Amino acid sequence: MTRPILRVLVSFYYASHIDLSALADYDGPVELFVDSGAYSAESVGATVRLADYASWLHEWRTLITTAANLDVIGDHAASARNCEKLEAAGCKVLPVFHTGSPWAELERLCAAYGYVGVGGMASAATNNQRLLMQWLIKCHRIARDNDAGLHGFGMTTPDVLARLPFYSVDSTTWKAGIRYGNLQMWDGRRARFVTIPFGDHGKAHRHRELIRAHSGVAADVARKGFCLLGDRPREDYVRDYYMALRISATGILRFEEWLSGRHRVPPPPGWRTPGPAYFLGVVNNRELNGAIQAVKAADDAAGNAAGDANPRAALRSRP
């Protein structure tokens, strides 16, 4: 039996914290999306050197499926020059269009590349959701007119993804619930995410079948102190942690499957798998291992999901 595709996104800025060779332990197809981490670096006053990024891309080229350009945030012309330099160094990269850049630049990128990332949406969403939606709709119209696909960096809003046919998206919010003390699971029958706080016995019991379908155990989720270290043995905490990661990641995989049934986005040039594709963002080995475990668990538990579509069944192998 062929495993479903494991899709992860890794940032070069966090590369020293991640052993990418662990991806070889996954007994199925892998799609590795990488970005430079320029945004993360800038937020802490650091920089990413183009030569270092290019060298790293060459080092891991046999594993990397897609690599994003090294953007110069706020300067689309400098970003274009970096793209040309990386291509001259033998690196095939995905160009990225940011909020605030001229529309002519997106038209150029879509016509030249056929697959373009759109970024800068986190700050735009904070300022005005309505204007962001208008901006995204125009991005999609330009992409459609040029037969191009779009990747949404950090795009996580279910309502937006339900309305707009991104070819691919990525997010680190699949594991954010652990930080805030809750789990998010996709209820395919109601087409919505269900949130269950850790230790909430009533909600865990009410949604026990959904938890089971997400590779979790309702009695554990309902337990006071679930996923908290406290005075417990560390191995008990680690077990809870990985269960929480599996449940959260399985929710994303089920949402991805629902989106693929809604949009069925054709692959851009050079890609064979139809979208939408959802990449799990990871920043360390623990999260990478959690993502691998989650995809395996979602696959193993697929036959037990009452009333839901088989997770990622349509994506088990590339056409």
Indicate the helix (H) or strand (E) that contains 113: helix 103-113
What is the rounded average pLDDT of the residues 48-55? Answer: 95
At residue 227, what is the residue type?
C
> Which residue did the predictor score with more confidence, 139 or 249?
139
Percent of the chain with pLDDT strictly greater than 90: 67
What is the rounded average pLDDT of the residues 113-134? Answer: 82
At residue 46, what is the residue type?
A
- By the 8 A CB rule, do 174 and 192 touch? no
C-alpha 224/C-alpha 222 separation (Å) is 6
- 302 has pLDDT over 80: no
Kindly state whether residue 279 falls inside one of the protein's structural domains: yes
Kindly state whether residue 116 falls inside one of the protein's structural domains: yes
Given this model, what pLDDT does residue 298 score? 75
Instruction: Report how far apart the first and last C-alpha atoms of the chain are (Å, whole number).
Output: 16
- By the 8 A CB rule, do 28 and 292 touch? no
Percent of the chain with pLDDT strictly greater than 70: 92
Tell me how many domains the chain contains. 1
Classify residue 66 as exposed, middle or buried by CB count within 10 Å of its CB (0-12, 13-18, 19+). buried
Kindly state whether residue 153 falls inside one of the protein's structural domains: yes
**Cα angle 49, 152, 11; round to 5:** 30
- By the 8 A CB rule, do 234 and 209 touch? no
Give the strand pairing for 149-152 and 115-119. Answer: parallel
pLDDT digits (tens, 9 = 90+) for 171-223: 888 888 888 999 999 999 999 999 999 999 999 999 999 999 998 999 999 99
Q: Could you tell me the residue range of the domain that residue 108 belongs to? A: 6-315
Kindly state whether residue 101 falls inside one of the protein's structural domains: yes
- By the 8 A CB rule, do 133 and 99 touch? no
Cβ count near 151 (within 10 Å): 27
pLDDT digits (tens, 9 = 90+) for 243-273: 998 899 899 989 999 999 999 999 998 888 9
Kindly state whether residue 135 falls inside one of the protein's structural domains: yes
pLDDT digits (tens, 9 = 90+) for 5-38: 999 999 999 988 899 999 988 989 999 999 998 8
Given this model, what pLDDT does residue 126 score? 52
Q: How confident is the model at residue 164 (pLDDT cuts 50, 70, 90)?
A: very high
What is the rounded average pLDDT of the residues 142-163? Answer: 94
Given this model, what pLDDT does residue 53 score? 96
> Which residue did the predictor score with more confidence, 127 or 203?
203
Kindly state whether residue 1 falls inside one of the protein's structural domains: no
What is the rounded average pLDDT of the residues 97-122? Answer: 94
> Which residue did the predictor score with more confidence, 19 or 312?
19
- 224 has pLDDT over 60: yes
> Residue 192 pairs with which residues in a beta bridge?
187
Kindly state whether residue 265 falls inside one of the protein's structural domains: yes
